[in-house]
Amino acid sequence: MMGSMAPEESRTTTSPAIHRSTQSAAPRTPATHAWTTRLVVVGIVLTALNLRPAITSLGALLEEVRDGLGMSGSVAGLLTSVPPLCFAVFGVMAPRLARRFGPAVVVCAGMVAITTGLALRPYIGGTAGFLAASALALMGIAVSNVLMPVIVKRWFPDKVGSMTGLYSMALALGTSAAAAVTVPMTGALGGNWRSGLVVWAGLAAAAVLPWILLVRARGAASSTGDREPTPADTARHEPDGLRITRSRTAWALAVFFGLQATAAYITMGWMAQIFRDAGVAAGTSGLLLAVTMVMGVPLAFVIPRLATRLPHQGPIVVALGLCGLAGYAGLYLAPAAGAWAWALLLGVSNCAFPLALTMVGMRARTGAGVAKLSAFAQSTGYLLSIPGPLLVGVLYQHSGGWGLPLAMMAGLMVPQIGVGILAGRNRTVEDEAAG
């Protein structure tokens, strides 16, 4: 009797506590996870919106900035080459920082750096201060560039295509919006270029908030032990033994990234001038460039989703490359007559960027692998892209026309297709490095 009563007493005294604990914990964990996931999505979108306005807003007001700061033409040329250089130099730091602090913390710091740099650079005084503040903002962009594919891979491993598409679409939207809106917005604010540039610090500040909430939520949950670590929490605990330079796919993806970045920077920097030299009105030339950039908004969402459904991304690489070749040929043969067609074709070709980001997430199995591959491909790629726009300017100046520059652009498209096919093969950098 006593032996049978003891278990019964245990059931009556402990079961309610267990039940209460289950009742309180079970509903909270899914709700907390869903809330955190939504917060990550908001953070990804706001971050992506802020990864290019620092560059394209300056491009829209470069003449006013030069006049206001007394900047020479050579320094202005240097300023246009600073973004890819910063992306290459500072992007290398991202994986190590992510292992030490976690990707969310680093991206949050990156958004703070962008906000601070954009807020300071119009008012810090002098060309040197303007360059230093711009470099601070570009440093934040660089680490966030690298870590966005990492966050997508860790939080949404089964939705890499969809989330990369959403991120790429937001990035393209931010790029084109800053280019299109900065000048009229500056006019509405009184015509002062400083006001037109500093406005974009507000958008960057908005992107800080979701990451602060996410980091605080994770810290509070970890301290109370209320939940298991999420995939993003494991960043600093993942093994770091991958020798990325042993992977042929990593090299192919890095060169592909560099060549598509070269084409994109040449397009952004020179396409409007090509149309103007062909007799197209200045306003129409700017509109054609905007059309080329806006093409990335819908296609940046479609292409990653399509890429993840294919075992080999080579066919997409070839299709985008052929659009680029056709666009360059059109610019050479009939730049004014077929201007809208060439702008559309080059807009499609420039969507190699979201494809490259998607392949970064697909060519590595682990979060640590994605971080290293993203840093290697982007840093190496941006280094490769630096000479392209400068070389176009040199060829244009010495040849007196666009024949040689367009031939160079078309020539670079051929190896871009080749290395893109290699990068699109169904394999992972971990397997290649181990082999």
pLDDT in tens, 3-25: 444 443 333 334 444 343 334 33
Q: Based on the number of CB atoms within 10 Å of its own CB, is 355 exposed (0-12), middle (13-18) or buried (19 or more)? A: buried
d(CA 94, CA 151): 12
The answer to whether 380 and 260 are in contact (CB under 8 A) is no
Q: CB-based contacts of 87: which residues, under 8 Å, 6+ apart? A: 138, 141, 142, 145, 378, 379, 382
Predicted pLDDT at 73: 64
Predicted pLDDT at 220: 57
Task: Find the distance separating the first CA and the last CA of the chain, reported in whole Å.
Answer: 67
Q: Based on the number of CB atoms within 10 Å of its own CB, is 195 exposed (0-12), middle (13-18) or buried (19 or more)? A: middle
Other Cβ atoms within 10 Å of 120 Cβ, number: 19
Q: Residues 172-216: pLDDT tens digits?
A: 888 888 877 888 888 898 889 999 999 999 999 999 999 999 888
d(CA 349, CA 295): 10
Predicted pLDDT at 9: 39
Long-range contacts of 311-316 (CB under 8 A, 24+ apart): 311/426, 312/424, 312/425, 312/426, 313/355, 313/358, 313/359, 313/362, 313/420, 313/423, 313/424, 314/420, 314/421, 314/424, 314/425, 316/355, 316/424
Predicted pLDDT at 232: 43
Predicted pLDDT at 331: 95
The DSSP secondary-structure symbol of 234 reads G
DSSP string, 122-171: TTS-HHHHHHHHHHHHHHHHHHHHHHHHHHHHHH-TT-HHHHHHHHHHHH
The DSSP secondary-structure symbol of 70 reads T
The answer to whether 398 and 408 are in contact (CB under 8 A) is no
d(CA 358, CA 283): 35
Predicted pLDDT at 240: 53
Q: Tell me how long the chain is.
A: 435
Helix 62-69 vs helix 193-224: angle between axes, to the nearest 10 degrees?
Answer: 100
Q: Fill in the amino acid letter for 424.
A: G
The three-state secondary structure class of 96 is helix
Task: From 425, 409, 105, select the one nearest 260 (Cα to Cα).
Answer: 409
Predicted pLDDT at 413: 96
**What is the torsional sign of CA 362, 264, 180, 297?**
negative
Where the chain has pLDDT below 70, the residues are 1-32, 73-74, 76-78, 80, 218-241, 435
Q: How many CA atoms lie within 13 A of 352 on its CB side?
A: 36
Other Cβ atoms within 10 Å of 70 Cβ, number: 9
d(CA 339, CA 271): 10
